[in-house]
Chain A
Amino acid sequence: MPGPTTGPPRAPRRSLRGRRIVGLVLLLAALVAGALLSVAVGAKPIPPGVVWDALVRPDLSLEDHIVVRSLRIPRTVLGLVAGAALGLSGALIQGHTRNPLADPGLLGVNAGAAFLVVIGIYLFGVTDPLGYVWFAFAGAAAASVAVFVLGSVGRGGATPVTLALAGSAISALLGALTSAVILVDVATLDAYRFWAVGSLAGRDGEVLTNVVWFLGAGALMALASAPALNALSLGDDVARSLGHSVRRTRVLGIVAITLLAGGATAACGPIAFVGLVVPHIVRTFTGPDYRWLLPASALSGAVLLLVGDVLGRVLVRPGELQVGIVLALVGAPFFIHLVRRRKMVNI
């Protein structure tokens, strides 16, 4: 990376702190702007003044106020929370696997959730997002634990590549079982395909209240593990000699990843790319320190999901493009740009 080559030796450190603060301020500003846009923009545009009125002195005889309070705000909050959870889980996974390719989706979370959702639809006749939540969560949790267990049993332990391979193997296996069910029963396919795109639309507040506790617990565990992750990034042996319990940190990390990615997937359906892209973007201004990287990833994930959702409402009016698709279409080119521009970040 080109940087100042002259100047006092302290300069880089000071500029890193400056970058971090500017970055966080910009992120917060983007978050506020994204939330406002998410409430104001939609099939029915609502002026900011009316939004404000709906918030502070609601008048439930006005249609706009009802739209804001019962649809737009729950959707925005869901986007904020799920986006933050996905961003955090992405940063955690990349940290624990030391693998810049790692993403909740790659480690089987999405496939596990999808498979149990399909089972829920096929065997138990569940057909609304609220009903999918527990199936998705259980599937995501089981798959991620299975991936970590299988990735760790080899003689070499949980290396980045064994984890990624275990993740893709579990994903492919569960994906095939999912296909088997939806091929046998067309009605299941019909319900499943709308869940599988990943969307914030049509999820009411109850979906969020179901998963918010898991997400909160996961976020706390994630933030608390930042110092240990910093030590782990120097290698297991160094971390051990610094007095960290590698095993405990790993187990905590897996639980946190499962809670965060599983909860977000349960609430919104499989959304790729937030967990993959966010840590790469964030690292450009926070550096590798997880005490900065994790909170910034949470904020960026929230911004990314909100902005993606707003874009989806605007792009194909009067229809709507689901946020999972928008994020893939926007996230993939950005990700590729990142891959091309930078020397690959070593984690």
Chain B
Amino acid sequence: MAVVTKGPAGPPAKVPGRPALRRGRFSVVWRPRTVLVLAVTALVLLLALVVNIGRGDFPISIGEVVAVLLGGGDRGQRFIVLDLRLPQSLTGALVGGALAVSGAITQAVARNPLASPDIIGITMGASATAVFVIVLGGGFGVVGGALAAAGLPIAALIGGLLTAAVIYGLSWRRGIQGFRLVLVGIGINAMLLALVQWLLVVAEIYEAARATVWLTGSLNARGWEHVVPVGLALVVLVPAALVLAHALGALQFGDDTARGLGLRVDRARTWLLVVAVGLAAVATASAGPIAFVALVAPQIAQRLVGAARPPIAASMLVGAALTVLSDVIARTALPSPLPVGIVTAVVGAPYLLYLLARHGREART
């Protein structure tokens, strides 16, 4: 076990051959492979960021990008890097990280690799409200034009949180069961999808096109105003997730065992889900529901680390790297630039299929 649950008294369990690090009620086992994976993924992420900032209509060499980031470079380069490409790339990294952590938590809590926020309808809730604003916003006068554009992320955030609250409320029946949560989420997801499709039919064609870009998940023209909210959400929620994560180790054995280990199962699950929902909603509000990151990144991270459940920190870095690399491809490697969500799906889906082909048995958890 990666995480040793706290006991009310007595020495915590030991993992043979692995020294334990303890501080107060928390303890962690020293796992060199996890640390190595974290370091390598972080390196890949940094490289991807620098490459993504360098490439574009005005190519800037990697050395110059690093120079600008360290305070050098001429005014043109500084503008392109600091005002245009850095915020877009950072948004991608942060959104990818947030989605991945959200997916890691929901998958671990539900003990089901399918239970990522995009499957259970949370990102669809955010998308539906966003499309609602895009399609009907102009018609209401009050939220037309620029105000509608500024209101879009807020509407998406509210939509995602509301949807999650509805799903949670409807799944609650003397506690939350992972399976029921997934089922209710799929129901809500289908309903919202129908609403979105109806909105696309009644919309003017140019609004429908804009809504489709949003629905795919795009990082185009994301500025610092998109970086800040996701960054704040990550700074607050990821540490919370890491603290709460000790509960995950016990939860994966089932509720009764977890209770036997002294865990307040429903409270732990509720708080973990609150964190997951907050991350997914904020991420979707910033960049749309970028496909597959929340589903695939935790699965990749789990296999890299060799853990029994999706690890949080590694998932975050894998999700961020995956998203930024996809953005590089989406922006520059294709004949015409496409939203990043298309690339994440085209890259992510075959990987999941590969996992299925290779590890069919393990995917059954």
**Residues of A that sit less than 8 Å from B by CB:** 100-101, 105, 150-151, 153-157, 159, 161-162, 164-166, 168-170, 172-173, 175-177, 179-180, 182-184, 186, 189-190, 193-194, 196-197, 272-273, 276, 321-322, 324-325, 327-329, 331-333, 335-336, 339-340, 344
* B 340-356 binary contact with A (CB < 8 Å = 1; else 0): 01111110111011001
Contact A172 B356 (CB under 8 A): no
Verify if B201 is at the interface (C-beta below 8 Å from A): yes
What are some 23 contacts across the A-B interface (CB < 8 A)? A101-B186, A150-B356, A150-B357, A153-B356, A154-B357, A154-B363, A172-B291, A173-B349, A175-B345, A176-B342, A176-B344, A182-B212, A186-B206, A186-B209, A189-B205, A189-B212, A197-B201, A272-B194, A273-B190, A322-B201, A333-B191, A340-B170, A340-B184
Pair A328/B190 contact, Cβ less than 8 Å: yes
Task: Decide: A156 near B191, CB < 8 A? Known: A165-B352, A170-B349.
Answer: no
Given A169-B353, A339-B180, A153 contacting B197 (CB threshold 8 A):
no
Chain A residues near B23: list those with CB within 8 A: none
What separation, in Å, do the CA atoms of A48 and B191 have in the docked complex?
A: 34
Contact residues in B for A276 (Cβ distance below 8 Å): 190
Q: State which residues 179-224 of B face A: CB under 8 Å.
A: 179-180, 182-184, 186-188, 190-191, 193-195, 197-198, 200-201, 205-206, 208-209, 212-213, 215-216
Q: Are B184 and A165 in touch, CB under 8 angstroms? A: no
Q: Does B295 contact A (CB under 8 A)?
A: yes
Q: A154-B356, A340-B171, A344-B183 are in contact. List 17 more A-B contacts (CB 8 A).
A: A161-B365, A165-B352, A168-B119, A168-B295, A169-B356, A170-B353, A172-B291, A177-B346, A182-B212, A183-B339, A186-B206, A189-B208, A272-B193, A325-B194, A328-B195, A332-B187, A336-B187
For B346, list chain A residues within 8 Å (CB): 173, 176-177
B292 is an interface residue with CB less than 8 A from chain A: yes
- B319 interface residue (CB < 8 Å to A): no
Give the interface SS of chain A, mostly helix, strand, loop or mixed.
Answer: helix
B75 within 8 A of A: no
Is the pair A176, B291 in contact by a Cβ cutoff of 8 Å? yes
A222 to B200, CA, bound (A): 36
Could you say which residues of chain A place their CB within 8 Å of the CB of B188? Answer: 332, 336
Determine how close the nearest CB of chain B comes to the CB of A183; give it in whole angstroms. 6
**Residues of chain B having any CB pair with chain A under 8 Å:** 112-114, 119, 170-171, 173, 179-180, 182-184, 186-188, 190-191, 193-195, 197-198, 200-201, 205-206, 208-209, 212-213, 215-216, 291-292, 295, 336, 338-339, 341-346, 348-350, 352-353, 356-361, 363-365
Closest to B345 in A: A176
Q: Give the distance in Å from the alpha carbon of A344 to the alpha carbon of B179 in the complex.
A: 9
Inter-chain contact A179/B360, CB cutoff 8 Å: no
Q: Which residues of A contact B338 (CB under 8 A)?
A: 180, 183-184
Residues of B within 8 A of A184 (CB): 336, 338
Cross-chain contact A332 with B191 (CB below 8 angstroms):
yes
Minimum CB distance partner of A167 in chain B = B114
**Structural contact, B360 and A154, CB atoms closer than 8 A:** yes
Partner of B113, one of A161, A321, A340: A161
Which single residue of chain A is at the shortest CB-CB distance from B203?
A: A193
What residues of B have a CB within 8 angstroms of the CB of A164 in the complex?
A: 114
For the complex of A and B, 10 pairs with smallest distance between CB atoms: A154-B360, A328-B194, A176-B345, A173-B349, A332-B191, A156-B360, A156-B361, A169-B352, A332-B187, A169-B349
